[in-house]
Amino acid sequence: NCEEGNCENGKGTLKYLNGSKYIGEFKGGIENGNGTWLTNDGSEFIGQFLKGYISGDGKFTHKDGSEYTGEFKNAKWHGKGVNLQTDYHDYYYLGEKFEKKRTKGDRIVAEWVGKWKNGYEIGEYIVNVYYFNSKQKLEFKRIIDVKFNSKGGTPKRRVSYWKMRDW
């Protein structure tokens, strides 16, 4: 449902039946060019669209604050990018001594820098891990070197190398 502007060939605002909204460029009645997609769950994409799909460069911010900035193809992470994740405590095990000192309100932020194919990790990555105490003061940083096996770029990908080092 075109709420404003020219949703056929130009710039406009389109509201979908599920409550999501697209604000941007259209060609032939399809999202094409630069635009912003506001999802009905509070997530947001700002970037390029091609023939109705997120394709090209852009930034997708999830409602939980995690975000991916980089290249997309057919609405999937594809190419170089950075995935910023917050508060995935169980995934980033930083050692028994550290885990025993965790307190309510602290958080871990992980920044994955690498390449994606069809929405999945491929090849080598550097993961920058930041730990903030409950007062949100940066306590320390770690670097994790990660490599995915030959099934990278598919749901069958597995980590073949994972090594943590100090910053």
What contacts 42, CB < 8 A, 6 or more positions away? 63
Distance between terminal CA atoms of the chain?
Answer: 51
How does pLDDT run across 81-98, given as a tens digit for each residue? Answer: 999 887 655 555 666 777
How does pLDDT run across 121-167, given as a tens digit for each residue? Answer: 888 888 888 888 888 899 888 888 888 876 666 777 778 888 888 76
Consecutive H or E run containing 98: helix 96-100
